[in-house]
Amino acid sequence: MPKIITSKDVHLSYGPKEALHGISLDFEEHDITALIGPSGCGKSTYLRCLNRMNDLIKGVKITGSMKLEDQDIYAPGTDIVDLRKRVGMVFQQPNPFPFSVYENVAYGLRLAGEKDKHVLDERVETSLKQAAIWDEVKDHLYENALSFSGGQQQRICVARVLAVQPEVVLLDEPTSALDPISSAKIEDTLMNIRDQYTIIIVTHNMQQASRISDKTAFLLNGDLVEFSKTEKMFIHPDDEKTSDYLNGKFG
């Protein structure tokens, strides 16, 4: 399968402190890749490099190369707005805007200048269906998104990202603030959309990684320790540190 994102020797430092020490990771189209590792190892940091959300943090320095297809993400002329439309992101805390469900999902489309009511209606519906939340919100589309439960809010956020029709969806611990049932629903959502999107998910939940991902990358203290097919990593990890981590010896 063709690679959609390639990154080579990515170093990132927050001020004087280096958080990523040269990470090279490639992602194949329509794969689900899980990023795992103990707290503070740089998973979120790496993920935020992919849609340049780290640009918002002061004093961040990034070297190495990152490409989306064959376009350099960090080339001087890169259109960040366009990049973020192609690489969507779901955050750890459900963060819908304090608007109606409909307005939340239509937000990205309106940004792109879409005004046609039919197109908006249709894309909102499709996205909510893809995110497996349509049945729960279809009679409440004009209610405030914040009046829903955390799990529902998170799926609305997924729908909001899908509405823009990105190629890659980044998820940073999307279920860590949710109960098991809501988490399972988010996982269903991801299984639902895996054929159309490339998904990169950070998770602390090993079962979750093993259930849904095709490949897993294990990061430790800003280094990539191991990257392979999920089954292989969970059954026969190459590195001793990986096996220790998976067996709960640290982290």
Partner 1 sequence: MDEIKHDLQNPSKATHEDLFGRGITYLCIGFVSLLVISILYFITTRGLATFTTNHVSLWKFLSGTNWNPSLLDKHGNPQIGALPMIVTSFSVTVLAAVVATPFALGVALFMTEIAPERGTKILQPVIELLVGIPSVVYGFIGLSVIVPLIRHSFGGTGFGILAGTLVLFVMVLPTITSLSVDSIKAVPMFYRSASLALGATRWQTIYKVVLRSATPGILTAVIFGMSRAFGEALAVQMVIGNAVLMPHGLLTPSSTLTSQLTTGIGNTTMGTLPNNALWSLALILLLMSLVFNILVRVIGKRGALKK
- Chain residues that interact with partner 1, rule: CB under 8 A: 51, 53, 56, 81-82, 84-85, 88-89, 91, 93, 95-99, 107-108, 110-112, 144, 146, 157, 160-161, 164
Least distance in angstroms from the C-beta of 143 to partner 1: 11
State which residue, 82 or 244, has the beta carbon closest to partner 1: 82
Residue 106: count of CB within 10 angstroms of its CB = 22
State which residue, 18 or 238, has the beta carbon closest to ligand ATP: 18
Residues 18-37 that bind ligand ATP (CB under 6 A): 19, 37
State which residue, 18 or 26, has the beta carbon closest to ligand ATP: 18
Q: How many residues does the chain have?
A: 251
Separation between Cα atoms, residue 220 and residue 216, nearest integer Å: 13
Least distance in angstroms from the C-beta of 140 to ligand ATP: 32
State which residue, 144 or 228, has the beta carbon closest to partner 1: 144
Binding site for Mg ion (CB under 5 A): 44
Separation between Cα atoms, residue 188 and residue 200, nearest integer Å: 15
Q: What separation in angstroms does the CA of 209 have from each of 28, 97, 172, 202, 242?
A: 17, 29, 13, 9, 14
Separation between Cα atoms, residue 206 and residue 128, nearest integer Å: 27
Least distance in angstroms from the C-beta of 145 to partner 1: 10
Binding status of residue 40 toward ligand ATP by CB under 6 A: yes
Q: How far is CA 183 from the centre of its chain?
A: 15
Token pair for 137 = 């919100």
Minimal CB distance residue for Mg ion? 44
Q: How far is CA 48 from the centre of its chain?
A: 9
DSSP symbol at 210: H
State which residue, 161 or 212, has the beta carbon closest to partner 1: 161
Least distance in angstroms from the C-beta of 143 to ligand ATP: 32
Binding status of residue 91 toward ligand ATP by CB under 6 A: no
Closest CA to 92 of 178, 187, 179, 173: 173
Asked whether 19 and 45 are in contact (CB, 8 A), the reply is yes
Least distance in angstroms from the C-beta of 142 to ligand ATP: 35
Binding status of residue 44 toward ligand ATP by CB under 6 A: yes
Size of the site for ligand ATP (CB under 6 A): 11
